[in-house]
Structures are given as C-alpha cells and as structure tokens.
Amino acid sequence: MSSINNFALSTNHEKTFHTLLRHPQTTAVSKPFSTKDHSTLITDASPAGIGAVLGQCRKPVTCISRRPPKT
C-alpha cells in the first residue's frame, strides 16, 4: 500500500461499521413473515458461494449466504 492510501481505522469507524451491520435487521428495513403477503425468493450462486433473500412487500424478511466447503 502506498503512503497516499494509508487509512487508520478509528473507534468511530468501528462503531459506524457495526451500526451498519445491524441496520438491515431492524424493523425499519425488514418485516416479519406473513402468510397473507405475496413472497418473492431471489437467489444467486457462484463458485464463491450462494445467497438468497426472501422478501414480502418490497422488504426483506430474511437473507442467507453460504460459502462452499473447502475440498
């Protein structure tokens, strides 16, 4: 890394990062599953892993991601 790209991670950066990680799990973004609402399942896969989002009313209900086991 060159000297112009040095970046020091501060306590404030850590706090912001952890806040952003928790944000998608709040009720402001996600919603509880309802059998009365239409569901949409979005999936994706690559050699790096798989992922899926279950959504209702244009909001995520749950998200998953997995990496393949090393062989």
Q: What pLDDT digit, counting tens, does each position of 13-45 carry?
A: 888 888 877 776 665 677 899 999 999 999 999
Is the residue at 30 inside a domain?
yes
Long-range contacts at 33-37 (CB < 8 A, ≥ 24 apart): 33/61, 33/62
Classify residue 50: in a domain, yes or no.
Answer: yes
pLDDT band, residue 1 (cuts 50/70/90): very low
* Sheet hosting strand 49-56, strand order edge to edge: 39-46, 49-56, 59-66
Question: Cα separation of 46 and 67, whole Å?
Answer: 9
Q: What are residue 49's DSSP bridge partners?
A: 46
The answer to whether position 4 is within a domain reads: no
| Average pLDDT in the chain | 84
Determine which helix (DSSP H) or strand (DSSP E) holds 12, and give its type and residue range. Answer: helix 11-22
Residue 1 lies in a domain: no
Domain contains 25: yes
- Number of domains within the chain: 1
- 5 is a domain residue: no
pLDDT of residue 68: 86
Structure tokens at 26: 């709040």
Task: Tell me if 20 is assigned to some domain.
Answer: yes
- Reported pTM: 0.57
Q: Is 3's pLDDT higher than 70? A: no
